[in-house]
Structure 1
Amino acid sequence: MKILIVTQYFYPENFKSNDLAFELQKRGHDVTVLTGIPNYPEGKIYDGFGFFKNRKQKINGVKVIRALLLPRGNGGGIRLFLNYFSWAFFASLRSIRLSYSKKFDAVIVHEPSPITQFYPALMVKRIQKTPIYFWVMDLWPESLEIAGGIKNKFVLNFFTKMVQKFYNESEKILITSKGFKKSILQKGNYANKIEYFPNWAEDTISSGNVDYPIPALPSGFKVMFAGNIGEAQDMESIMDTALKLKDSHSNIKFILVGDGRKMPFVQEFIKKHDLQKTVYTLGRFPVEAMASFFKAADVLLVSLKDDPIFNLTVPAKVQAYMSSGKPIMAMLNGEGSQNIKEADCGFAVPAGDSGKLAQVLKNAAQIDEEELNRMGLNGKSFYEKNFKLEECISNLEKIISRK
């Protein structure tokens, strides 16, 4: 099949769109990706790219076309708005030209925020009548209201109507969490369009190089958080947990691998409360390093704020953590917490409950290594049965071929 993937984010940025495109190409499909100039998450255009540099590429056989955008900068509201809409505008123009030069059998929209990524796909559908498969990874306008702090009814109603239009135009609505179904059905009769299409972990994590060089880690019971350090991840509660354990259980070490908008808060909190001996911020590393980091951890920490939209979400790192064969320490609600309990692969406490997390960490630090290994292997087994890349893409091929 000739498949067009529409996404604002693509390699060398680290998103599931990379695996999606490369795996489909590997299976013999002719894959084109319409994307942006890489600038996530730092907000600066990556070295080697620019308005006149590497706008067209071929990566692992995948044709990559990069539309112009305004970089996201420091991630402030106005700059994000301009980033989102500039790409949607220029990518829509590019998709019109593309529609007259190549016929596609299917268009897949990969949608972490923003939802405006749908517009270029809509242009292709208008011209070619090509079916759109909308991979919803972030619920709108809920994420705009809760994560973005937007309360204006006019703005929220505007985006609600936009979402409904996109759902109406979709052949299928692919959801990463079964909890998304309720929100989508509240916006219309889309039951026959919804298909479950969960996240997976990168091969570099599930079967990667555990000898990748990483910094020396502190001794003690290592609690590792890897990934985006943003508003949704509730770093306030994680830091409060570290503060609660600082004096009585200084052997419990929090290791943060990653970066994001909340990193300045984290670093200031560490400094203010003298947590330098129990909380370590290591910064960002390539995904190839994650297998080494995870191997060195005792438990892997995942957290989300206690908000309605996050209670419907399964963070992608849950699957990544499971695939590594390490036990998970979760501070979240909803389907992600249920998955961990069902797999018997770790510990789960309610979102935002730093007191409960501190207590469970104290207990976990006393558990023998054999029991921790058992939980980790349970998670890996659950992952292989439910979330392997190969199985997910095979299911997607079936969905697309049923049109």
Structure 2
Amino acid sequence: MLHYPSHDDSAAKRIASYMSFAASTTAFTAALAGCDVCLVYCTPATVAIPAVVLNALAGVPFVLYVQDLWPDSVTASGFVSNPRGNHFMARQLSRYCNGIYRRASAVVGISPAMSDLLRARGVDEHKVATVYNWVDESVFKPAPRSNSDSSRFELMYAGGIGEVQGLENAIEAMNALRDRDDVRLTFVGRGVAEPGLRRRVAELGLEHSVRFCPPRTTADMAGVIASADAQLVSLRGDSFLATTLPSKLQASMACGAPIICAAPGAAAQLVAQAHAGIAVEPDRPSALAGAIAGMAAASKEKRAVMGRNGLAYYNRNLSRSVGAARLADILARACADRRPNILKRTTRESWYG
């Protein structure tokens, strides 16, 4: 398998990575010609190419499990800075995505907002379904509180520290609360935005109330989450993020942690619907500062109720058992779309001669 992996900021290298993976996996699709159905974990959207080829040649139906909407996530990335070039790329990617949506037996969004947007873009109503992502429930589960400092409210952000999270707003919110010795923000993780955040903390003189901790192993995360009073879920207010549910949200809910959510659309709606914490508009440090102050002022029992609400909502709607059962049902129904193999070759040996 010839694959050129790249995750840097070069558009050419990223395209080469996407296309080389699609091409190399397509070369081996014959091995799946006898399958009843394929599930495509669709991010990036180019991973659907082998499934489209398999569908065309062997009649195998496929289900798209859409994690990121294209072209939105691509055009918003800034890979193509020229406006005309960006518009051309968006138009071509939209045509490509519409094509695979038509080919798919079902198109599954990870939030109701994403599913609604898929319908608005012309995907057949009967094809669209919603299945939330879940977390590793053997790891992310309620753990005993391990923080002995009961005199200080601690808000934690644990995860990748990237540009898309908009965590500079959290720093500015803490600056608005700089006179509060009883409130602290802790970052646990690493990422490209971390150096800039550290510089801003130093510029504002917030070392007493904002700290940075190294990443912890996945196995440790339940205990790490339990060491704080609440978890921060943050995303920039970009429109393409409005249908996204960051995995940190499910992880926090599965651990029974109260949440402060400064994110657009689906994430904020979920926190409000689950009564799992406080949701505010993204990119508004003053609103976030108010939420932090409000959570700090809440009693321990009130915060515990938020955590229990989030856990109960996760178990009812987002858990592995619920999501897996929904996907299984969607895949079973998709099997009815199986068409005869037009090449009349269903074994690995016959495909490779």
Moved more, 180-189 or 329-338: 180-189
Match of 1:402 in 2: 333
Distance in 2, matches of 1:256 and 1:323, equals: 20
Match of 2:186 in 1: 255
Q: Of 111, 136, 142, which aligns to 2:66? A: 136
Residues 1:200 and 2:130 aligned together: no
RMSD: 2.4
Distance in 1, matches of 2:108 and 2:36, equals: 17
1:314 Cα deviation (Å)?
A: 2.3
Residues 1:346 and 2:240 aligned together: no
Q: Of 240, 248, 269, which aligns to 2:172? A: 240
Match of 1:47 in 2: none
Match of 2:108 in 1: 174
How many residue pairs are counted as aligned between the two chains?
330
Distance in 2, matches of 1:218 and 1:265, equals: 30
| Kept after mapping to 1: 8 A contact 2:108/2:115 | no
Residues 1:125 and 2:55 aligned together: yes
| Kept after mapping to 1: 8 A contact 2:111/2:266 | yes
1:216 Cα deviation (Å)?
A: 10
Are residues 292 and 332 of structure 1, via their aligned partners in 2, closer, same or farther at CA, if it must alter by over 3 Å?
A: same
Q: Secondary structure at the match of 2:308?
A: helix
Moved more, 362-371 or 159-168: 362-371
List per-residue Cα deviations over 1:47-85 (Å, max 9, x = no partner): xxxxxxxxxxxxxxxxxxxx4432325444333223222
Q: Of 163, 180, 188, which aligns to 1:231? A: 163
Q: Of 3, 14, 28, which aligns to 1:80? A: 14
Q: Secondary structure at the match of 1:143?
A: helix
Match of 2:251 in 1: 320
Which structure has the greater CA radius of gyration? Answer: 2
- Aligned residue identity for 2:73: S
Are residues 400 and 191 of structure 1, via their aligned partners in 2, closer, same or farther at CA, if it must alter by over 3 Å?
A: same
| Kept after mapping to 2: 8 A contact 1:106/1:400 | yes
Match of 1:163 in 2: 97
Match of 1:280 in 2: 211
Distance in 2, matches of 1:266 and 1:158, equals: 36
Match of 1:106 in 2: 37
Unaligned runs of 5+ in 1: 1-66
Match of 1:183 in 2: 117
Distance in 1, matches of 2:182 and 2:11, equals: 40
List per-residue Cα deviations over 1:314-368 (Å, max 9, x = no partner): 2222222111111100112222212211221110111111101112211221222
Q: Of 287, 307, 312, which aligns to 1:381? A: 312
Are residues 68 and 335 of structure 1, via their aligned partners in 2, closer, same or farther at CA, if it must alter by over 3 Å?
A: same
1:171 Cα deviation (Å)?
A: 0.7
* TM-score between the two structures when normalised by the length of structure 1: 0.76
- Aligned residue identity for 1:136: V
| Kept after mapping to 1: 8 A contact 2:101/2:123 | no
Match of 2:349 in 1: none
Fraction of identical pairs, as percent: 25
List per-residue Cα deviations over 1:213-261 (Å, max 9, x = no partner): x99999721111122222221122122212222x311332211222233
| Kept after mapping to 2: 8 A contact 1:233/1:303 | yes
Q: Secondary structure at the match of 1:82?
A: helix
Distance in 1, matches of 2:195 and 2:10, equals: 14
1:206 Cα deviation (Å)?
A: 3.6
1:210 Cα deviation (Å)?
A: 6.2
Unaligned runs of 5+ in 2: 335-353
* TM-score between the two structures when normalised by the length of structure 2: 0.86
Distance in 1, matches of 2:120 and 2:326, equals: 26
1:302 Cα deviation (Å)?
A: 0.4
* Higher fraction of helix: 2
Distance in 2, matches of 1:383 and 1:328, equals: 13
Distance in 2, matches of 1:273 and 1:78, equals: 38
